[in-house]
Amino acid sequence: MSVLAAIAVLAVLILVHELGHFIAARSQGIYVNRFSLGFGPIIWKYQGAQTEYAVRAFPLGGFVGFPDDDPDSTIPPEDPNLLRNRPILDRAIVISAGVIANLIFAYFLLVAQVNFVGIAQATQPGVLIQQLVPQMSSVAEKAGIQPGDVVLGANQRQFGTSLQARDTLRDIIKTNAGQPIQLKIARGDQKFSLTVVPEKKSNGDGSIGVGLAPNGKVERRRITNPVLALQTGAAEFQQIVFTTFRGFKQLITNFGETANQVAGPVKIVEIGANIAKNDAGSLLFFAALISINLAVINILPLPALDGGQLAFLLIEGLRGKPLPTRIQDGVMQTGLMLLLGLGIFLILKETTQLEWVQKLFQ
């Protein structure tokens, strides 16, 4: 059931994305002749007045079809309600609506998470220095840091009970290689300040050789005040978006070191299944995280993605006319083949890494 729950989460997020495109088109009077959740053979369909609605065998995908690309369409080519005949702004709204829908949906998922389930927080403020890493502990030791110390703040930034404080401290250390960091430390009943200078690693990140952990037990706390829940959801949303963009930046700048961290649909389902099985309360947060990542990926200016189509619209706006159809088709088909190839590679790779699959070959 946990696997089905994870697949259901992905299917809902894809449905939200495609609904964004569909609603943006229909609300402007633009023709839509197909709305499909999934790929492959049709297992259910309904023919509406204008649109065929279908559910297909493989739910990890979907599409909105326009009669512009249908050779059997009886709509005159010059009809103003065809997508291709609409002004650039109208088309840009339709293309970007899927990304916007995923972002809005993610925000409300996070609000629901903090309001109905609660957010995980430490029982005490600060970040615990859990241990000194043996191979790299010289920097922390020289600065006077000891296991069991609690970092209450860094560079004038105070740390509360949020679990994000640990990630914030990590970021401060990573981005200040060779630069002094002022830490506010609590050790027993004592509170004092000290300075540490992170050591620069081979990838350019700073490190002081410590293991970090939340301070105290981790408990869930619900926020029942609606206004505060909206504010907290916004803060969680902002943090995830920032972390997602930072992750893509690291993937581009340090591709050799981060390529193995790229996850495909099988890995995502596996992670979601583990969450559904062991910590169902985090399933809404997991869905929000994937929804934001889906939005960010789709807005990238790559062929076959929404960002690629927006890039074509930008070029059309600058040129005063669209690129030749053969060029657009060639770029989109090449991009689609590359994305399909990457997807197949990740599916095969991650499937062979599943525990039950490996047991079959032992």
Catalytic residue among 18, 236, 270, 350: 18
Burial class (CB in 10 A: 0-12, 13-18, 19+), 78: exposed
Exposed/middle/buried for residue 321 (C-beta within 10 Å: 0-12, 13-18, 19+): exposed
Sorted by sequence, the CB contacts under 8 Å of residue 168 that are 6+ apart come out as: 154, 157, 159
Spatial separation of the C-alpha atoms in residues 181 and 134, rounded to whole Å: 21
- In single-letter form, the type of residue at position 328 comes to Q
Say whether 300 sits in a helix, a strand or coil.
coil
Q: Which of 122, 123, 140 is nearest to 131 (CA)?
A: 140
Whether 18 sits among the annotated catalytic residues: the reply is yes
Counting DSSP H helices and E strands in the chain, the numbers are 11, 12
- Contact 158/168 with Cβ under 8 angstroms? no
List the catalytic residues.
18
